[in-house]
Amino acid sequence: MEFQKMDGVFKKIKLQKVSEEIAGQIRDLIKDGKLQSGEKLPPERTFAEMLGVGRSSLREAFNILETQGFVKTRKRLGIYVNNLSTSIISDPLRKILGEDKQKLLQLYEVRKDIELASAWAAAEHRTDADLRKMKNPLEKMEADAEKSVLNLCDDLEFHLAIAQSSHNIFRSHILKNIFDISDEPLQYVKGIMTSEKDRTLKLLEQHRNIFLAIEKQDPALAQNRMAEHLIWVDQKWRVFMQKKNQEA
């Protein structure tokens, strides 16, 4: 028959298992940036009711996603969206940073590249929901600044919210991984930046200016404000490191 030559080209249609459909939906939400790195998924019972599926199917979907690296189970805490860039930037770089603190400056250059692009894109594409995500950590920083306190988690959450507002999944996940592997040095830099109250207030002012530029949807201004902030931190840090090396 004339259609015999097509035998073997087409595959039989298989009904998709419920668990695979659940896993596919969650993967798509992660891919589209609607579920972010570190975000906690609803508790099993609640989630099953939201999806209208059985808990066994949901557990199977979680197993699929965890095997694929999309989610991670934290004992007694729940299921969290995994950082998708952990296989790109991982333990070898942690070791390099531990052995040579100067390499952190090179990692900071990569961070700047991502953050400058994120600030521009966030000003172009941000939504009201994106602004709320930025405003939450900013308000916490404002409350702490008068006490010369800067919570690093709030600072990083603000920067990650900007990357997420650029609506590019790779920016937000890679930036999160940069923050993760440089956590110890960042804590050290935070100590330098907040050792004097005027520095803490300056940092707060810079963050406010970035937010306002993104809120105004002015890409060039947002990028300039981000550049001013990152360059200022970089300069302060280098001066401090130079003094420390001279004293050693």
**Least confident interval from 69-73, 143-147, 190-194:** 190-194
For the chain, how many structural domains are there in total? 2
Domain end (from 59, 81, 103): 81
pLDDT at 4 over 60: no
pLDDT at 238 over 90: no
212 within a domain of the structure (yes/no)? yes
**Same-domain check for residues 75 and 177:** no
Residues 6+ apart with CB under 8 A from 29: 35
Residue pLDDT, tens place only, 78-88: 899 887 665 55
Quickly state the pLDDT bin for 246 (edges 50, 70, 90): low
Residue 11: per-residue pLDDT:
60
Q: 170 vs 35, 39, 85, 124, 207, CA distance in Å?
A: 13, 16, 8, 17, 23
Q: Which residue has the higher pLDDT, 36 or 8?
A: 36
The predicted model gives 238-246 an average pLDDT of: 68
**Same-domain check for residues 105 and 190:** yes
CATH no. for residue 118?
1.20.120.530
Residue 247: per-residue pLDDT:
60
Range of the domain at 37: 18-81
User: Per-residue DSSP letters for 86-107?
Assistant: TTTS-HHHHHHHHH-TTHHHHH
Q: Is the pTM of this model over 0.75?
A: no
CATH no. for residue 62?
1.10.10.10
